[in-house]
Structure 1
Amino acid sequence: MKINKDPFSGTRRQRGITMIAVVLILIMISFAALIGMRIIPIYLEYASIVSILDDVQQNANAKMSRAQIDKTIQARFDIDYVTVVTLKDIKMKRERGNIILELIYEDRRPLIGNLDIVAKFEKP
């Protein structure tokens, strides 16, 4: 009976991860980070826009004109550096003495080369 004393024989010889696998994992992590860096600002800006519209909607009284409301919204957009949404994207309704602001817009940002990320938002 022969006993194999070679520690590098059989399955014990194959350990660890290859350099190609490390490179592939780093590429996948880098791509995920790139997508995250492109998507997160879109959602942060949307959260800022919703916050502005909710605040204006709650603090505006029924006697304010459309021009006054637009001026208030535009001032807040300028402070928060909102560039994606314009006042034309905001619809205003008056119901039972309340002002209701609705927003539908699309944000398109470059990802890589000729590929873009498109996000559609709707705030009723």
Structure 2
Amino acid sequence: MREYQIGKISKQQGLGMVGWLVIVLICGLTFSQVLKLFPAYLENWGLSGELKKMAELPNGVESLSVSEIKKRMQNYYLVNRVSTEAKKSLTIRRDEGRLIVEMPYERRVHMFWNIDVVLDFHLQLDSKFPNVCCKARETEH
């Protein structure tokens, strides 16, 4: 049997119920926010992959006409259910013998109450530099 000495208070070891509640709350909020943001990044990753496929064509992306590029992207949108601003932001231009395909778009994701997160994506495929397709650009802010 243990003897307790009066006057000596033993210290609590470990977390109490309130501490565990705070940790579970923080982990739950973080997990829910990741679940909300992940689809936007997944969609951007897929669009980037489609542009990289065009960059790796045997004859290069210059071999495709503007209508062929639009058709490839429309097929990708249809198969992968792309329903964001990315579809509307596709621009294709020929400039000094180069073909430039750009997709600058923003995606707004509702978090909670009146708080939204705005994700800014900018995909670019330049036929002169196909190996740097779709890399993140530095912000101009």
Could you say whether these structures have the same fold, taking a TM-score greater than 0.5 normalized by the shorter chain as the test? yes
Q: Is the contact made by 1:89 and 1:104 (CA closer than 8 Å) also made in structure 2?
A: yes
Q: Within 2, Cα distance between the matches of 1:13 and 1:53? A: 61
The residue type equivalent to 2:106 in the other structure is: E
Structure 1 segments of 4+ aligned residues over 4 angstroms from their partners: 95-98
- RMSD across aligned positions (CA): 2.4
Letter in 2 for 1:46: N
- Alpha-carbon distance in 1 for matches of 2:6, 2:19: 22
TM-score (norm 1): 0.79
Percent of matched pairs sharing the same residue: 22
- Higher helix proportion (structure 1 or 2): 1
- Structure 1 unaligned runs (5+)? none
- Residues of 2 paired with 1:63 and 1:13: CA distance? 75
The corresponding residue for 1:112 is 112
1:70: Cα distance to partner? Answer: 0.8
Match of 1:83, SS state, is coil
Q: What is the CA distance between 1:47 and its match in structure 2?
A: 0.4
Q: Which residue of 2 aligns with 1:49?
A: 47
TM-score, normalised on structure 2? 0.71
Structure 2: runs of 5 or more not aligned:
125-141
From the superposition, tell whether residues 97 and 7 of structure 1 become closer, same or farther in structure 2 (CA, over 3 Å): farther
What aligned pairs does 1:1-124 form with structure 2 within 5 A after superposition?
5-6=3-4, 10=8, 12-59=10-57, 61-62=61-62, 64-84=64-84, 85-86=86-87, 88-95=88-95, 98-124=98-124
Amino acid in the other structure paired with 1:16: G
Paired residue total: 119
Shift of the 95–16 alpha-carbon distance from structure 1 to 2, 3 Å rule, reads same
User: CA separation in 2, counterparts of 1:14 and 1:95?
Assistant: 71
CA contact (8 A) 1:56 1:72 kept: no
Give the whole-Å Cα distance in 1 for the aligned partners of 2:120 and 2:38.
Answer: 14
Higher-Rg structure is 1
Quote how far apart the aligned CAs of 1:58 are: 3.7
Separation (CA, whole Å) in 2 of partners of 1:36 and 1:8: 51
